[in-house]
Amino acid sequence: MRLIVKQAVDPVVGRFVIPPSKYHAHRALLLASLAPGRTRIVGLSDAGHVRHTISALRRLGTRVEVDGDDFLVHGGRYRPRRPEVSVGSSGTTLYFLTGLAGLAETPVTIVGQKYFQRRPIGPLLGALSDLGVRLHSATGCPPIEVRPGRPRGGHVRIPGTLSQWVSGLLMLAPFATGPSVIEVDGEFNERSYVDLTVRMMRQFGLHVEVSEDGKRFEVEPGQEPVATTVVLPPDVGAAAFGLAATALHPADVLFHGLPAVPAHEIDHPEADLLRIVADMGLPIAADPATGMVRVRHNGIRLRPAEVDCRSVPDMLPVLSVLGALAEGTTVFDNVAHVRLKESDRVQAMMQLNKMGARLEQRGDQLLCHGVDRLTGADLSSFNDHRVLMSLAVAGTFAEGETRLTFPNAYRISYPRFLEEMGNVGLNMSVAPSRERARAVTIGDRLRTLAATEPNAVAVIDAGLPGDAERTLTWRELDEQADRIATLLLELGVRPGEPVAYQLPNQAEFVALAMAIARIGAVSCPLMPMLRQREVSYMLAKSRARVLVVPASFRGRDYPAEVADLGMEHVLVVGDGFAEAVARVVPDRAALDRRAPSVDAPAQLLFTSGTSGEPKGVLHRMSTLTRAVTMEIRHLGLTVDDRVFIPSPLAHQTGFLYGMWLAVVRGVPMILQPVWDGPRALELLRRHGGTFVQAATPFLGDLVEAVDRAGERAEALRIFVATGAAVPRALAERATRTLGAAVCGAWGSTETCLGSLSAPGDEPAATWGTDGRALAGIRLRVTDDAGNELPSGHEGNFEVNGPCHFIGYLDRPEWTAEALSEDGWYRTGDLAVIDDAGYVRINGRVKDVVNRGGEKVPVAEIEQLLHTHPAVRDAAIVAMPDPRLGERACLFASVDGELDLDEVRRFLDERQVAKPYWPERLEIVDRLPRNPTGKVQKFLLRRRIEQLITGEDGS
């Protein structure tokens, strides 16, 4: 795997969103964990180091919650949940927590990733032992056994090599039974970080006396921290990479979250970086509208600088990039301790010489003699996050491509690095290699089809009833994609930038999606049914500048609806769009040079939501292609298949398992813009559709259409039903009526398909389950403590595999909560996996009805009720009850008459236990469903709560 960085050909324009300081987050979380009561930490850090700290604290029994954009920490004594506490790959967590672990009520062993077994921390362990911490390490490295008990205090000495050793001792000392004196021996390399620790300890009410030279600390015994509120300042260390990028290229970039104030007014140990880059000539100014930092210029040549690395100890990598391109020689003093970090950072940055720079080591100095240009090269990041990001920024200035090892190292400190760089137009992406990446992009797949099958049908646009059908060949689709891609470039669209479009199932949707992928932008499709409220929210979240809408669709005037949304560019299909595209003269070679890598972000899809605010789900191109390739193999789809797409292309089912699958397989796609069962049957028959993936209601309507027409779509051989569990009675009936395999499946926007049955499976497994794991996917069921359950037991359904999303846009805390400590996606579903590996989804965890401690098997009862001749649709939700906590309420749409007595009689005949019977019935015209067919039970729960409240007058 490599991080592929391409030379920037345009100015960098847009904004960087600066995250909260990871340094403050670490210290605040640890101090809050020991402060009785609740501490609110305002600002969320998604740095990998911080996530490891949170995970370790949770294993120690500390409750850490996410509340909007804040952490809530419920502090007190450590009551370990497990005897081992992992610090992951975070050295900071290791250094800080090893001593504090002695405050736990039971023994713990500190462990970490495998390479931590070679990380020597002997001086810290010796100092902790001198303070009275009872610990043991056979090698002076993890694993470290820590026994419970407060330290006794004492006079200890510690080398000033690493500030984290000093900070770890300081945070432990207030809990000692006697006074503590901590003295720093030798050169004190990173004093600013220790100063931060002292300031934060005082914020929690802990007292530390510091000598004038800052090398002796006296701490009173028996202190107790006080719960408080901590506001995390911006992370200057993360901002450094954005500032460096704007220093190398013409720029107009807002640094959102970084106030334009003097460096000394920013509470951050690396704040001096702002003064240094300003002295080098970077025009940092205040944005009038926000008061934040804005960098705007048409190109500058930086001045050289003299940097004492003790003031900005972790900034040598990124500043050496600027020094390499400054006019003159930049001198870095006191670099010896910089060679003791995650890697020898001085030696690592000497790799700039491979790019044409002129760096020289001279004793305890690093000299950067400025040059005018750089050339791309193959480099090592040494698995060091700061080295990786710094060399990547240098690569944006280098002619050609720069390729870096350990491409995901940035996640440990700045998980949004690639996304933020993409937001301002810089082309960075993770790929196995340049050749492989180029070979499997969707744009190159389309190029191949246009060359090998130029006149074969690619798209059949059925249009609305009465419209003339349109077709595109592969060559025509490729040409349209080129023209639209060129038009988007003329509008300033950059790699990694979302392009929003709210189009129905029509040929322009496909051409636009291919064009966006061709230039490395990100598809952000919006469902046509959405109105201004939802659209304005999603556009604001995506930060898209270009929106494409139809002139009209189903009686709505889309241009009028979006006129007041403040979009920079609105393109209207049906009103000048075709003419604008036709006028464009594409430069195919130039477009191919902009082709993204296979692992570039390609899709931003907002979940329709069954429980509240939509989430922006980000996927890479490789993930999308891998997901459909897995389904193609699982189902045995061939070049003779034809994909019918009635599901909205703006939803993952239509986008991925319709359009994207058809392009990857190289087969025609048949588009139906408005669902209608009889019309679908007619299109399937006329065009020979063989494969459909759609939600359960589509299946039911198609079965009804076949029953009424008395004729099948003879070519149809596979219908994959997704989005909601298929009632078993409907699946069995559909198999007979359609003469096709009805395959159950489970998938999510975040993970793509996880389980799927296949036509060759036993019939009861094909339509009677939610399938089995696709090749490469792992499935498990766990209890609430995270322990895997054996087959046949119901529990929390979790998925692991190669099709996971990048994360939720701007919501790292949601991403963290969605994934277990070992990387499994928590689906929120309850499931059973049988001995043969087949999954049965039994409903959402939040949909369980807990009747006085007895769990009602909601999915099973709903399945039974779907077999009642009067029931069209049924859903059971919990309603509040003062005695039992919850009771079951049935919402049903019916044909004919149905009352609660009949429901009870029906279930009694089928020997269903009485506690599982619904205790209230509400008849509705139809159940509220999202576009995937899932019942929006949160709306039903809200409705029954309102009804009960109105009835009792409360």
Looking at residue 725, the DSSP 8-state letter turns out to be: P
* Residue 571 counted as domain residue: yes
Give pLDDT, residue 569.
96
Q: Which domain holds residue 38?
A: 22-231
Of 81, 23, 89, whose CA–CA distance to 57 is shortest? 81
Distances (CA, A) of 735 to 489, 675, 840, 917: 48, 21, 19, 30
Going by C-beta distance under 8 Å and a sequence separation of 6 or more, which residues neighbour residue 471? 457, 458, 459, 460, 461
Q: Domain containing 918 — which CATH number?
A: 3.30.300.30
User: 616 and 604 in contact (C-beta within 8 Å)?
Assistant: yes
Longest Cα–Cα distance in the chain: 93
Residues 520 and 593 placed together within one structural domain of the fold: yes
> Is residue 425 in some structural domain?
yes
Please name every residue paired with 231 in a beta bridge, in sequence order, or none if there are none.
Answer: 42
Sheet holding 457-461, edge to edge: 470-473, 457-461, 669-671, 643-645, 691-695, 718-722, 741-748, 752-756, 772-773
> Helices marked H in 491-524 — which ranges?
507-518
Residue recorded with tokens 């050339």: 375
Q: What is the pLDDT of residue 159?
A: 87
Residue 543 is assigned to a structural domain of this protein: yes
What pTM value is reported for the model? 0.60
**Nearest residue to 153 via CA among 117, 129, 135:** 129
CATH number assigned to the domain comprising residue 306: 3.65.10.10
Cα(210)–Cα(221) distance, rounded to whole angstroms? Answer: 15
pLDDT at 440: 65
Question: Are 270 and 292 within one domain?
Answer: yes
Same domain? 318 vs 403: yes
Query: What is the number of other CB atoms lying within 10 angstroms of the CB of residue 69?
Result: 12
pLDDT at 635: 92
Q: What is the reported pLDDT for 327?
A: 95
Is 852 buried (19+), middle (13-18) or exposed (0-12) by CB count in 10 A?
Answer: exposed
Mapped onto helix, strand or coil, the DSSP state of residue 401 is strand
Same domain, 515 and 570: yes
Note whether 617 and 750 are within 8 A (CB).
yes
Let me know if residue 442 belongs to a domain. yes
| Sheet containing 292-297: order of strands | 12-17, 251-259, 292-297, 284-286
Whether residues 614 and 472 share a domain: the answer is yes
Binding site for phosphoenolpyruvate: which residues? 22, 91, 119, 164, 345, 386
Query: 151, 127 in Cβ contact below 8 A?
Result: no
CA–CA separation, 809 and 830 (whole Å): 26
Is the domain of 35 the same as that of 168? yes
Residues 581 and 657 in one domain: yes
Looking at residue 954, what is its pLDDT?
Answer: 46
Q: Other C-beta atoms within 10 Å of 674: how many?
A: 16
Specify whether 300 is located in the same domain as 379: yes
Active site residue 130: no
CA within 13 Å, CB half, 406: 17
Domain boundary (406, 429, 452) is at: 429
Decide if 305 is inside a domain. yes
Q: Of 231, 253, 277, which residue sits at a domain end?
A: 231
Say how far apart CA 383 and CA 849 lie, in whole Å.
Answer: 48
- Predicted pLDDT of residue 497: 94
Q: Which residues participate in the annotated binding site for 3-phosphoshikimate?
A: 22, 27, 163-164, 314, 341
pLDDT digits (tens, 9 = 90+) for 523-553: 999 999 888 878 998 999 999 999 999 999 9
The three-point CA angle 68-72-73 to 5° equals 160
Q: At what angle do helices 22-33 and 91-100 cross, to 10 degrees?
A: 20
Residue 435: the pLDDT is 41
Specify the number of domains making up the chain: 4
Query: Of 671, 673, 915, 630, whose CA–CA distance to 777 is shortest?
Result: 630
Residue 196 located in a structural domain? yes
> Are the C-beta atoms of residues 426 and 396 closer than 8 Å to each other?
yes
pLDDT of residue 434: 46
CA atoms within a 13 Å half-sphere pointing along the CA-CB vector of 36: 3
269 and 397 inside one domain: yes
- For 67-115, the pLDDT digits (tens) are 878 899 999 999 998 899 998 888 889 999 999 999 999 999 999 876 6
Give the CA-trace dihedral at 485, 487, 492, 497, to 10 degrees. Answer: -40
Q: Does 127 share its domain with 178?
A: yes
Per-residue b/e over 485-494, b at no fewer than 16 CB within 10 Å?
Answer: bbbbbeebbb
Residues of the chain below pLDDT 50: 433-439, 609-611, 954
Contact 196, 235 (CB under 8 A): no
Under DSSP, the state recorded for 104 is B
What is the DSSP secondary-structure string of 732-797?
A: HHHHHHH-SEEEEEEEETTTEEEEE--TTS-HHHHHHSS-EEPTT-EEEEE-TTSPBPPTT--EEE
Which segments of 7-143 are extended strands (E)? 12-17, 37-42, 63-67, 70-75, 84-86, 108-111, 135-136
Task: Decide if 876 is inside a domain.
Answer: yes
Active-site residue (options: 235, 272, 314, 461): 314
Residue 368 in domain: yes
Taking a C-beta distance cutoff of 8 angstroms, is the pair 421, 643 a contact? no
Task: Return the structure tokens found at 171.
Answer: 């945070």
- Which of 372, 395, 429 terminates a domain? The answer is 429
CB count in 10 Å sphere of residue 858: 23
**Residues 641 and 497 both lie in one domain:** yes
271 and 319 belong to one structural domain: yes
Find out whether the peptide bond into 697 is cis, omega within 30 degrees of 0: no
Where does residue 610 rank: exposed (0-12), middle (13-18), buried (19+ CB within 10 A)? buried
Nearest residue to 663 via CA among 526, 528, 525, 511: 511
Angle at which helix 191-203 crosses helix 163-172, to 10 degrees, equals 20
Token pair 């967590």 is at which residue?
93
- Distance between CA atoms of residues 803 and 681, nearest Å: 32
What CATH number does the domain containing 598 carry?
A: 3.40.50.12780
Whether 831 and 839 have beta carbons less than 8 Å apart is answered as yes
